[in-house]
Structure 1
Amino acid sequence: MLNITFAQNKPITKQIPKEQRMEWWQDARFGMFVHWGIYSVPAGQYKGKEISNSAEWIMNKGQIPLGEYEKFSDEFNPTNFDAKSFVALAKEAGMKYIVITSKHHDGFSMFKSKSNPFNIVNATPFKRDVLKELSEECQKQGLRFGFYYSQAQDWSHPGGLGNNWDKKMQHVSNDVYVKEKALPEVNQLLTEYGPISIFWWDTPRQMTKEVVDSLHRITSILQPGIITNDRLGEGYPGDYKTFERGIPKVKPDDKYWEICQPISASWGFKKSDTVFQTPSALIRNLVDIAGKGGNYLLNVSPRADGTLSPVAISRLKEVGKWMDVNHEAIYGTQAGPRVQPNWGRITLKTENGKSIAYLHVFDWKNNTEILVQLKNRVKSCYLLTDPKRIFETKSDDKGITVKLTGKAPNEYASVIVLNLNESSNAIQSDQLIQNADGILVLPAERAQFQNLNEQGAEYQENKKAIGKWTSESAEVNWTVTVHTGGNFKISAETASLKDAKVSISIGEESQVLSMSPSGDYNKFIGQEFGSIKISKAGVYKVILKPVAGNWNPVNLKDLKLELTKK
């Protein structure tokens, strides 16, 4: 084990149980992500050319030598940064926590690092520790605070992973980087910056188990109440699952999950990044995510002067106006039925055996009826922002019908409160069950994804298929219920340019499937891949995972398992 020297006078106590640590986070539902660093100086341009990808990747994508990149720190002087107003804006937007980049892949530290002189205090004319200021201000204003940290990639340290273009860099082992920089910095962040609620790891690479163990151990020891995401490394699931950019089509199986998403296109500030998500999109994203039981970590990107774009500020304030009167339907809620309605989304609260269903109506039309697929008796039904505005309801075998009357109270999402006499009871099953003919259909839109890197797989609505499956580490899975075991024929429709191999695992059984190319990513062909045995009835996870070294991107429609022999 790498030697860890803890800061003096820091009490070390046993970590708090997970369920207790996650309570505040699950209630919060909405947080602010902040990507900020010296990459905000070039802002996506290098030597007069626009560099691809998000702004924080400019050193990598522009192949900028460390000696050249370090010069940007001389121009980084965010004198207009004000922690008080920054935190106040997050609070006004309805956000309950802030997570900021303490060190991104470029290796620049946004705090007064004792082990890295390439930091905001020692290497810039600004000379202030913004993380210290933000931590103190979050405590004053009642927001939780956390750090993003790139533990594996570091393009400025010779032992950090990812820099393969700077020929002057004399590389050393990754263990040296962790011992000299990562571990000391994480130690410092967890001992000198007050209570830290979240540690947000990013982009794991092939690090030794000893190294990852050390990073894992130090967080739980130094901050017993801390929670972490799932990007430390393989075999370290963290406390919650992370999705990036794309909102899951259906509710994930995971109890705790979060999606991070930029308010525009780039994570870090980029001059050419001028198209921002609309207030409607942001509010409906928040509602959609809460309706599936997740948290929304919305990213903003401060400029080199320390301010946010006026458009970003305007968007956050608009979300805040909606949250100010509708927050009851977001904070402390649980997911609605897994099968979400086409008129909007549903969030739920249950206490003492009775539920409240919050109906977030996107498509409001006067004198139309919306169907809520719950089999319950209704106690009352009214508008959240005006309890005197009551709506008629009726119940039958299809569910509860609510009649909408008058104009839409809100242009983004109008919330109706449906008080139920019992705990909510969804009519439509959310399980994938073997049918009477012995067939299991695993819809692409119901797939769950597990991926540790920034590239992976996702459901693509336009193709009705799993696509962007670019990473060999991206796992696709479904949870299914089998009533009759036996041998199952495997088939699916796929589209690809090259051959690919993927393993399928069900219980203790696994097979390698060879997928033939269709010649076009938009041309799907039906294929049979052989068979697999499911010995007995039960609940199983069906896992598809690329075979390393034999993988090429594939678009995959519904997977079909057909019982051929008991």
Structure 2
Amino acid sequence: MKTWFDTARFGMFVHWGHSSQRGCELSWPLVGGVFSLPFCSNIPVDEYHSTGKTFNPQKYNPQEWARLAKRLGIQYAILTTKHHDGFAMFHTQQSDFSIQNSPYGKDIVREFIDAMRENGIRIGLYFSLIDWHHPDYPAFTEADKPYVFGQHRQPTPEQWQRFVQFMFAQVRELLTNYGKIDIIWFDGGWERSPEQWQTAALNEMIRSLQPDILINDRLPGFGDFDTPEQFIPPQPPDRAWETCMTINESWGYNPADTNFKSARQLIHTLCEVAGKGGNLLLNASPMGDGQIQPELLERLAVVETWLSANQESIIGTSPGLEPWQFYGTSTRRGNRVYLHLLMKPYETISVRGVPIKRIKSVQVLANRMELNYSTRCGIMDSFTNSDPLGELTIQVPESAIDPYATAIAIDFTPADAAL
């Protein structure tokens, strides 16, 4: 079944927690780091958890985040309500380890949801199944280091029963206390079996509380869409999908990590993902005080400027041409096809296998500059076929080239058959 998610194309991921005060990753430092996060430090367990008592982001302004998201054309925003470290960014009756018992006190999740909803952005909540703080999980200790995938201390049956009740209760709070939620984004399923997580019962509860909600594929055995991470899949998955990506190498605010993607890389990634029919869930990691890191804002400002002129070619589109038809990414909206030039052309570009007699216009999307073009097809096709498929050659002068990515719109007259 098709949903809004299938053509959303651009989402915002927000990884934020009490550890952001330290300028370190969420959760992973307390287990000694992980290979996939090159700038992740090793912090003693108790020392890591201690900043839960001091978290007080006085410069947190969710309205600013929401206005930024809206300007970017973001369609949905997902916040870490509870990461692997077990700290709840919402008011919960199930645990004292939450924002409610920090100096900040206010419900960060509620403030985030209200701001995004007010700006017309759909709501997603990240929730980790793992809880390295809860005693019945059991809690991760210094003796458990180094962290090894597949080798996790198991609870007693009594402990696990209590933990599952706790986990279900927190998910229930998130899905009953904040109105309509569009996505619940699970993580951490690798540490236990689907039977231990009781994923069938959890899925049933979620659907009963929020019938229209979408669940990602990280609830083992269930889910509505796929979530490749930190890369664009060479072939798009068979169903709805998004790729979640960081702007540097870290999910949480980490000033030591200066390996930032350029604004051009981000724009090209967005074009490629849209051309494959996916969504880009781009991470923005706030600092401990609640402000988004300046280096991220600098790049997002460039993306915003580019999208202000080219958003039509991304948001709400479907995949465009086949790879053999055009050496680049492309999208489609009805009878309009958008070409994304991610490399500078040599005077012209070619598009093959298109209905050349139905071409109405070719123009640069950003400024509506008309481009000269020519067409050709098989000689006999031109005589015997009223709607032949052929080759379109477009002249692209230097003045038409965008320094980040040039979007070209090709308009076709309608036909009964799809292009």
Q: TM-score range by the shorter chain?
A: 0.7 to 0.9
Amino acid at match of 1:410: D
Q: CA RMSD in A?
A: 2.4
Structure 1 residue 290, shift from structure 2 partner: 0.1
TM-score scaled by length of structure 1: 0.64
Structure 1 residue 329, shift from structure 2 partner: 0.6
Q: Distance in 1 between matches of 2:324 and 2:178?
A: 41
Match of 1:57 in 2: 28
Alignment of 1:293-312 (within 5 A): 293-312=277-296
Q: Distance in 1 between matches of 2:200 and 2:216?
A: 15
Amino acid at match of 1:418: I
Structure 1 residue 217, shift from structure 2 partner: 1.3
Structure 1 residue 55, shift from structure 2 partner: 4.6
Q: Distance in 1 between matches of 2:44 and 2:156?
A: 17
SS, match of residue 381 in structure 1 = strand
Superposed CA offset, 1:453-481 (max 9, x none): xxxxxxxxxxxxxxxxxxxxxxxxxxxxx
Judging changes above 3 Å, is the alpha-carbon distance between structure 1 residues 192 and 302 closer, same or farther for their aligned structure 2 residues?
Answer: same
Q: Distance in 1 between matches of 2:202 and 2:311?
A: 36
Q: Distance in 1 between matches of 2:52 and 2:371?
A: 59
Superposed CA offset, 1:521-554 (max 9, x none): xxxxxxxxxxxxxxxxxxxxxxxxxxxxxxxxxx
Superposed CA offset, 1:199-238 (max 9, x none): 00112132342711122112111111111110100x22x1
Match of 1:337 in 2: 321
Structure 2, unmatched stretches of 5+, are 34-41, 145-152, 379-389
Alignment of 1:229-244 (within 5 A): 229-233=216-220, 235-236=221-222, 238-244=223-229
Structure 1 residue 408, shift from structure 2 partner: 3.5
SS, match of residue 299 in structure 2 = helix
Judging changes above 3 Å, is the alpha-carbon distance between structure 1 residues 104 and 146 closer, same or farther for their aligned structure 2 residues?
Answer: same
**Bigger relative CO (Cα 8 Å, ≥ 6 apart):** 2
Aligned partner of 1:362 among 321, 342, 345: 342
Counterpart check, 1:133 vs 2:117: no
Judging changes above 3 Å, is the alpha-carbon distance between structure 1 residues 266 and 392 closer, same or farther for their aligned structure 2 residues?
Answer: same
The answer to whether the 8 A contact 1:29-1:294 is kept is yes
Match of 2:374 in 1: 393
Q: Distance in 2 between matches of 1:410 and 1:177?
A: 58
The answer to whether the 8 A contact 1:326-1:415 is kept is yes
Counterpart check, 1:91 vs 2:98: no
Counterpart check, 1:192 vs 2:172: no
The answer to whether the 8 A contact 1:55-1:266 is kept is no
Aligned partner of 1:146 among 108, 124, 133: 124
Superposed CA offset, 1:341-375 (max 9, x none): 7753111123xxxx321011122346x22122333
Q: Distance in 1 between matches of 2:324 and 2:8?
A: 22
SS, match of residue 39 in structure 1 = helix
Counterpart check, 1:25 vs 2:12: no
Judging changes above 3 Å, is the alpha-carbon distance between structure 1 residues 116 and 207 closer, same or farther for their aligned structure 2 residues?
Answer: farther
Superposed CA offset, 1:256-299 (max 9, x none): 11000011110011120122211100111000000000000000
Structure 1 residue 64, shift from structure 2 partner: 5.2
Q: Distance in 2 between matches of 1:241 and 1:392?
A: 39
Match of 1:419 in 2: 411
Aligned partner of 1:121 among 95, 100, 112: 100
SS, match of residue 275 in structure 1 = coil
Judging changes above 3 Å, is the alpha-carbon distance between structure 1 residues 203 and 372 closer, same or farther for their aligned structure 2 residues?
Answer: farther
Match of 1:159 in 2: 136
Amino acid at match of 1:394: T
Counterpart check, 1:324 vs 2:308: yes
Structure 1 residue 90, shift from structure 2 partner: 1.3
Counterpart check, 1:407 vs 2:384: no
Q: Distance in 2 between matches of 1:267 and 1:84?
A: 22
Q: Distance in 1 between matches of 2:46 and 2:124?
A: 30
Alignment of 1:97-112 (within 5 A): 97-112=76-91
Q: Distance in 2 between matches of 1:107 and 1:28?
A: 30
Match of 2:188 in 1: 203
Higher-Rg structure is 1
Q: Distance in 2 between matches of 1:365 and 1:69?
A: 51
Alignment of 1:279-298 (within 5 A): 279-298=263-282
Report which of the two has the higher share of strand: 1
Judging changes above 3 Å, is the alpha-carbon distance between structure 1 residues 424 and 356 closer, same or farther for their aligned structure 2 residues?
Answer: farther
Amino acid at match of 1:380: S
Q: Distance in 1 between matches of 2:323 and 2:391?
A: 13
Match of 1:9 in 2: none
Superposed CA offset, 1:395-425 (max 9, x none): 3366322221242342111111111234554
Judging changes above 3 Å, is the alpha-carbon distance between structure 1 residues 95 and 340 closer, same or farther for their aligned structure 2 residues?
Answer: farther
Q: Distance in 2 between matches of 1:247 and 1:161?
A: 35
SS, match of residue 380 in structure 1 = strand
Aligned partner of 1:41 among 2, 21, 35: 21
Q: Distance in 2 between matches of 1:115 and 1:93?
A: 36
Identity %: 34
Judging changes above 3 Å, is the alpha-carbon distance between structure 1 residues 68 and 56 closer, same or farther for their aligned structure 2 residues?
Answer: closer
The answer to whether the 8 A contact 1:241-1:254 is kept is no
SS, match of residue 110 in structure 2 = helix
SS, match of residue 132 in structure 2 = coil
Judging changes above 3 Å, is the alpha-carbon distance between structure 1 residues 112 and 55 closer, same or farther for their aligned structure 2 residues?
Answer: closer
Match of 2:252 in 1: 268
SS, match of residue 244 in structure 1 = coil
Q: Distance in 1 between matches of 2:313 and 2:329?
A: 11
Match of 2:213 in 1: 226
